[in-house]
A and B are shown apart, each in its own frame.
Chain A
Amino acid sequence: MTSQYAPLSPQAALAEADRCLFCFDAPCASACPTHIDVPRFIKKIASGNVMGSAKAILDANVLGLSCSRVCPVDVLCEGACVMHNLHQRPIAIGKLQRHAMEFFYDVGGALPQAAVALPWKVACIGAGPASLACSAELRAQGARAIIFDQRPLAGGLNTYGVAQYKLAPEESGREVELIRAAGVEFLTGIEIGKDILLDDLLRDHDAIFLGIGLGGTQPLGIPGEHLGGIQTALQFIADYKNRRPVNIGDRVVVIGGGNTAIDAAIAARHLDARDVTILYRRSERDMSAFAFEYEHAKREGVKFMWNARPVAFHGHNHVGAVECEYVPLIACDTVILAVGQSRLVDLLSSIDGLQLHGGLVKVNPESGQTGNPKFFAGGDCVNGGREVVDAVAAGKRAARGILQWLT
Chain B
Amino acid sequence: MADLTTSFAGIHSPNPFWLASGPPTNCGEQIMRAFDAGWGGAVWKTIGEPIVNVSSRYSSVDWNGNRMMGLNNIELISDRPIETNLREIYEVKKRYPNHAVIASLMVESTREAWHSMVKRAEDAGADGLELNFGCPHGMSERGMGSAVGQVPEYTRMITEWVKEAARTPVLVKLTPNISDIRVTARAATQGGADGLSAINTINSITGVDLDTLIPRPNVNGHSAHGGYCGPAVKPIALHMVQQIASDPQSQLPISAIGGISGWREAAEFILMGAGCLQACTAPMHYGYRIVEDMVDGLASWMDSKGFPTLDDFRGRSLPRVTDWQHLDLNYKIVARINPAKCIGCQLCYTACWDGAHQCIHVSGSDRSAIVSTPTATAVSHAVPPSRIPRVDEGECVGCNLCWLVCPVENCIDMVRVDNGLNSESWAERSSRIPA
Binding site for B on A (CB under 8 A): 14-15, 18, 21-25, 27, 29-33, 35, 46, 72, 74-76, 79-80, 82-86, 287-291, 294, 365-366, 383, 386-387, 389-390, 393, 397
Contact = CB atoms under 8 A, between A and B. Distances in A.
A22 B347 contact: yes
A24 B65 contact: no
A97 to B, nearest CB: 16
Given A21-B407, A82-B344, A86-B407, A32 B371 contact: yes
B343 A85 contact: yes
B381 A75 contact: no
Interface string B237-262: 00000000000000000000000000
Interface in B340-363: 343-347, 349-350, 362
Contacts, number: 87
Nearest to B387: A27
Contacts of B379: 74-75, 79-80
A18 B64 contact: yes
Which 7 pairs, one residue from A and one from B, show the smallest C-beta to C-beta distance? A24-B346, A84-B381, A18-B65, A79-B379, A85-B343, A24-B350, A82-B343
A379 B343 CA distance: 33
Q: Is the interface of B mostly helix, strand, loop or mixed?
A: loop
B343 A33 contact: no
B371 to A, nearest CB: 5
Given A18-B64, A75-B379, A85-B383, A29 B367 contact: yes
Contacts of B372: 33, 383, 386, 390, 393
A27 B344 contact: yes
A35 B374 contact: no
B343 A86 contact: yes
Nearest to B373: A387
B365 interface: yes
B367 A289 contact: no
Q: Is the interface of A mostly helix, strand, loop or mixed?
A: helix
Given A30-B371, A32-B371, A25 B362 contact: yes
Contacts of A18: 64-65
Contacts of A86: 343, 407-408
Interface residues of B, number: 30
A135 to B, nearest CB: 20
Given A386-B372, A387-B373, A21 B347 contact: yes
B346 A25 contact: yes
B378 interface: yes
Contacts of A15: 65
26 contacts: A15-B65, A21-B407, A22-B347, A23-B347, A24-B345, A24-B349, A25-B365, A30-B371, A33-B371, A75-B376, A75-B379, A79-B379, A82-B345, A82-B383, A85-B344, A85-B381, A86-B407, A86-B408, A289-B377, A290-B377, A365-B370, A366-B369, A386-B375, A387-B373, A390-B372, A393-B370
A74 B378 CA distance: 8
B139 to A, nearest CB: 35
B141 interface: no
B366 interface: yes
Nearest to A79: B379
A23 B369 contact: no
A383 B374 CA distance: 12
Contacts of A383: 372
Contacts of B375: 288, 386
B364 to A, nearest CB: 9
Given A86-B408, A287-B377, A387-B373, A35 B345 contact: no
B343 A390 contact: no
Contacts of B378: 75, 291
Contacts of B366: 30
A85 B373 CA distance: 21
Given A291-B378, A383-B372, A386-B375, 14 more contacts: A24-B346, A33-B370, A35-B371, A46-B64, A74-B379, A75-B377, A75-B379, A82-B343, A82-B383, A83-B343, A291-B377, A366-B370, A386-B373, A393-B371
Contacts of B65: 14-15, 18
Contacts of B368: 30
B143 to A, nearest CB: 42
Interface in B300-347: 343-347
Contacts of A83: 343
A179 B379 CA distance: 34
Given A15-B65, A291-B378, A75 B373 contact: yes
Contacts of B344: 23, 27, 82, 85
B347 to A, nearest CB: 6
Contacts of B374: 75
Contacts of A74: 379
B345 A21 contact: yes
B115 to A, nearest CB: 54
A397 B372 CA distance: 13
A35 B345 CA distance: 17
Contacts of B387: 27
B373 A390 contact: yes
Q: Which of A22, A23, A74 counts the most B-chain CB atoms under 10 A from its CB? A: A23
A261 to B, nearest CB: 14
Contacts of B365: 25, 30
A14 B368 CA distance: 31
Nearest to A285: B377
Contacts of B367: 25, 29-30, 35
Interface string B176-196: 000000000000000000000
A268 B407 CA distance: 45
Contacts of A29: 367
A341 to B, nearest CB: 16
Contacts of B349: 24
A18 B383 CA distance: 23
Contacts of A287: 377
A389 B362 CA distance: 29
B107 to A, nearest CB: 45
Contacts of B381: 79, 84-85
A271 B229 CA distance: 58
Contacts of A46: 64
Contacts of A390: 372-373
Contacts of A31: 371
A287 B375 CA distance: 11
Interface in B380-435: 381, 383, 387, 407-408
